Amino acid sequence: MTLPTRAIGPFRVSAIGLGCMNLSHAYGVPPSEEEGAKLLNRAIDLGVTFLDTAALYGFGANERLLGKAVMHRRSEFTLASKCVLDVIDGKRGLDGSPTAIARTLDAALERLGTDHIDLYYLHRLDKKVPIEDSVGALVRAKEAGKIGAIGLSEMSADTIRRAQAVHPIAAVQTEYSPVVRNAEVAVLDTCREVGIGFVAFSPVARGLLAGAVHDADYAEGDIRRNMPRFVEPNLSHNLNAVAAFDALAEELGATPAQLALAWVLARGDHIVPIPGTRSIAHLEENVAAAGITLTPAALDRIDAIFAGGAIRGARYTAAMQAQIDTETLPGEELEPA
């Protein structure tokens, strides 16, 4: 199958990619390796040509999964992974030094079973290391043929411009959905102006816009257990807006996830959403959203549903927010440090 394509840096990729994180990480007990492999191969069969992983996901397990499951189909997709966030002394850690970046990249190549990653991101900004030094490490990796293009994740417009001054940036990845609009402060416009592709992770708002969140009864190990907008007292309030969104999706003949993805796609031709899922049925549902075109009136109604204080609670915990460089929205509620 073929899907519409969009440009991300030097690459033409399917208009909807696949975020691979939750096959190994962050949402409770992951599926088996066999189930993950089936989903990855089904995605490629459906025309998905953009797969996104990271060293952090499953502490290397996600990269190993891709290495075993789909590297025999390497010519069929653009591979993206990330460094800086990694396992340090057995725990999640942040290290943007050139030495750490080189070490993470070499380990990633081994886990993936390849000698080249198409798009390699700095997963977060290490504020102890000048962005110029971190980008410089990736420039050297590109010159060595280990990566094809450089990306940034969860970084501000100012940081993007500093990085761009060192070497052209192919993509910026940030959370973006009808619920999470931080990229609209400055990052989306900066990417459009400079010619950088924008990759939207969590485009269905960590399941909130996919019919997957009804209460705060999350599995052990699910990161939403600690995210302020996904727990009480905020969740019940937020689900009121979600109910209105779900009703609009039904009226328009789409699922909520499809409506969210169509909204993201409509925000700009330089945007590619990368929803993640563990369900092949949901994967097929997500991919079908590439064929949905929303009217200006429908887009306005979605914006109206989530206007003002429709969503309460911080996007991240204080500890997680400390590693985020992306701009906050005016009046955005942040958890105290």
Q: Is 218 one of the annotated active-site residues of the chain? A: no
Domain range 5-321, CATH class: alpha beta
Share above pLDDT 70 across residues of the chain, in percent, rounded to a whole number: 98
Q: Looking at this protein, which amino acid is placed at residue 89? A: D
Residue range 25-36: mean pLDDT, rounded: 94
Which member of 57, 120, 121, 218 is catalytic?
Answer: 57
Q: Looking at this protein, which amino acid is placed at residue 121? A: Y
Give the C-alpha separation, 26 to 309, whole Å. 27
Give the C-alpha separation, 156 to 184, whole Å. 11
Position 335 pLDDT exceeds 70: no
Q: What digits encode the pLDDT tens for the residues 193-234?
A: 999 999 999 999 999 999 999 999 999 999 999 999 999 999
Q: What is the CB neighbour count within 10 angstroms for residue 232?
A: 11
The ranges assigned to domains in the chain are: 5-321
Cα dihedral 25, 27, 32, 35 in deg (nearest 10): -100
Q: What digits encode the pLDDT tens for the residues 81-139?
A: 999 999 988 889 999 999 999 999 999 999 999 999 999 999 999 999 999 999 999 99
Q: Check: CB of residue 232 under 8 Å from CB of residue 218.
A: no
Measuring CA to CA, how many Å separate 107 from each of 83, 86, 95, 111, 206? Answer: 10, 11, 15, 6, 28
pLDDT of residue 1: 72
Q: What digits encode the pLDDT tens for the residues 66-82?
A: 999 999 999 999 999 99
The pTM (predicted TM-score) of the whole model is 0.97
